[in-house]
């Protein structure tokens, strides 16, 4: 399965797709990037005169790259003709630095475990300077579902 095939299977669309590119992917983890466009709607009000990317969006970015993309890759052996339903079950994230409009981030995820379709990952997000902006653990259920 190619990285483009994984991106094509993501159940998100603009403006809620937070994956631009997958740089590395194997059974132990994934690394990918996303650039927050300056015109994303949440910047208008978060915060007035000092726009920052909300923590929930940073978490979502880490989940899309670090959990969903990796989960799609890991489930490829189950059945390739199925879509995947995804539900985040838990996360514990430490936020260390702000991320502003126009910034590119890199998310690195390491699989902690994958069993009974539950995936748990250690994730970190770095800015273009290589500084860790947030890090933690994200877990979720990945459920193959029939097309139809």
Beta bridge partners of 120: 113, 139
Kindly report whether the global pTM for this prediction surpasses the value 0.75. Answer: yes
**Is 138 in contact with 87 (CB distance < 8 Å)?**
no
Residue 21 structure tokens: 């590119």
* CB count in 10 Å sphere of residue 61: 24
Q: Is 24 a catalytic residue?
A: no
User: CA gyration radius for the chain?
Assistant: 15
Greatest CA separation for the chain: 49
Q: In this predicted structure, what is the pLDDT of residue 82? A: 64
pLDDT of residue 140: 96
d(CA 97, CA 75): 33
Among 137, 133, 89, which Cα is nearest to 109's?
A: 137
Which pLDDT belongs to residue 143? 80
Check residue 110 and give its pLDDT: 98
Helix (H) / strand (E) containing 148: none
The series of mean pLDDT values per 10 residues for the chain, 148 residues long, is 89 94 97 97 92 97 96 76 80 98 98 95 98 98 72
Across the strands, what pairs with 137? Answer: 92, 122
20 beta partners? none
Q: Which CATH class is domain 3-145?
A: alpha beta
Q: Where are the domains of the chain?
A: 3-145
Catalytic residue among 46, 88, 95, 144: 46
């Amino acid at each position: 399965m190619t990285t483009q095939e994984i991106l094509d299977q993501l159940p998100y669309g603009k403006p809620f797709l937070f994956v631009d590119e997958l740089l590395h992917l194997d059974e132990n983890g994934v690394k990918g990037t996303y650039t927050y466009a300056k015109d994303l709607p949440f910047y208008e009000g978060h915060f007035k005169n000092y726009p920052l990317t909300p923590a929930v969006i940073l978490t979502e970015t880490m989940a899309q790259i670090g959990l969903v993309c990796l989960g799609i890759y890991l489930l490829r052996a189950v059945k390739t003709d199925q879509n995947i339903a995804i539900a985040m079950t838990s996360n514990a994230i430490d936020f260390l630095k702000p991320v502003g409009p126009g910034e590119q981030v890199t998310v690195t995820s390491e699989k902690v475990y994958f069993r009974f379709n539950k995936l748990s990952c250690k994730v970190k997000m770095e800015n273009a300077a290589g500084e860790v902006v947030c890090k933690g653990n994200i877990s979720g259920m990945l459920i193959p579902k029939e097309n139809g």
